[in-house]
Amino acid sequence: MRVFDNEDWVITSAGGVTGEAYLAQSEQKKLFLKRNSSPFLAVLSAEGIVPKLLWTKRLENGDVISAQRWLEGRELKAHEMKSERVAKLLKKIHQSEPLVFMLARLGKEAVTPQHFLNNIMDKAVSFNDWVPIKQALAFLTRTKEKVKTHYKRVCHSDINHNNWLLDEDDQLYLVDWDQAIIADPALDLALILYWYIDEADWESWLKGYGWTLTPDLQLRMHWYMVAQTLIFFFYHYPRNKKEAEFYLNNLIHYNQHSSRF
């Protein structure tokens, strides 16, 4: 991949699932490069949600390369997800009209509970005899009408602590937006609260976000947590049985609490 016109730069893989991310390094500078990133990146940069977009360039083969400032920082640790700054940045994301506008322009339609359920049902065909999966599907089907909401915002959908970065100036960013959708913000909230925060502290954390922990929100978060756990399980099952087992055990735990709703 030839991006620069001189030989001063060394380009190496930056890892990641897609294999489309690179580190470009010269004697004096480092850049984060991404191949064929979405135009959505420019809006995320303008909103201060991801590191600053410096330039984009179209290569001779038609690929478009984007360059961002390389962060000399670190990922958040799991316990840091409890912080109010995480809640405030997520609130900023969910309230951003430019993010919704750009995703809609790119052809993304709002994802409803029925869309989630249809996707899950298609993938569940090979697991018809698995009791935890049958129980989860029964809960999702029984309550799908109760979790409908007209309030749809841009959701990250993969909001684990490894995607939250602190730079050298203590600026917080949320990166890796390949799974972004327009949906109920309860989707993102569920992933943070269920994974990182004791249930006794949910109300306090949500106060920093700007919402109240109502029975309706509790149901919506539980619904999306069950749905996302199924999606994660289906993704990992053919690739990493240990990871798949982790999500299956989580699903069994969530099923035990589904009767509350």
* Residue 53 confidence (pLDDT): 93
Q: What is the pLDDT of residue 69?
A: 86
Amino acid making up residue 216: D
pLDDT over 60 at 1, yes or no: no
**Residue 40 reports pLDDT greater than 70:** yes
For 242-253, what is each residue's pLDDT tens digit?
Answer: 999 999 999 999
55-64 pLDDT, tens per residue? 998 888 888 8
Quote the pLDDT of residue 16: 63
Quote the pTM value: 0.91
Q: What is the pLDDT of residue 125?
A: 94
The band of 160, judged by pLDDT with boundaries at 50, 70 and 90, is very high
Residue type at 2 in one-letter notation: R
93 closest CA partner among 53, 143, 43, 134: 43
Report d(CA 42, CA 132) in Å as an integer: 41
- So what's the pLDDT on residue 6? 65
pLDDT digits over 173-220, tens only? 999 998 999 999 999 999 999 999 999 999 999 999 999 999 999 999
DSSP conformational letter for 33 = E
**Dihedral of alpha carbons 86, 92, 95, 99, sign:** negative
pLDDT value of residue 58: 87
Q: What is the pLDDT of residue 81?
A: 97
More confident site: 142 or 26: 142
pLDDT, tens digit, for every residue of 88-136? 999 999 999 999 999 999 999 999 999 999 999 999 999 989 999 999 9
- Position 66 pLDDT exceeds 60: yes
Model confidence band, residue 3 (pLDDT cutoffs 50, 70, 90)? confident
Percent of the chain predicted with pLDDT > 70: 96
Which residues form the catalytic set?
A: 158
Average pLDDT over every residue of 224-238 = 97
pLDDT at 111: 97
Strand partners, 10: 25
Confidence of residue 232 (pLDDT cuts 50, 70, 90): very high
The arrangement of strands across the sheet holding 64-69 comes to: 10-13, 21-25, 30-35, 64-69, 53-58
Contact 86, 164 (CB under 8 A): yes
- In whole numbers, what is the pLDDT of the chain averaged over residues? 93
pLDDT at 36: 82
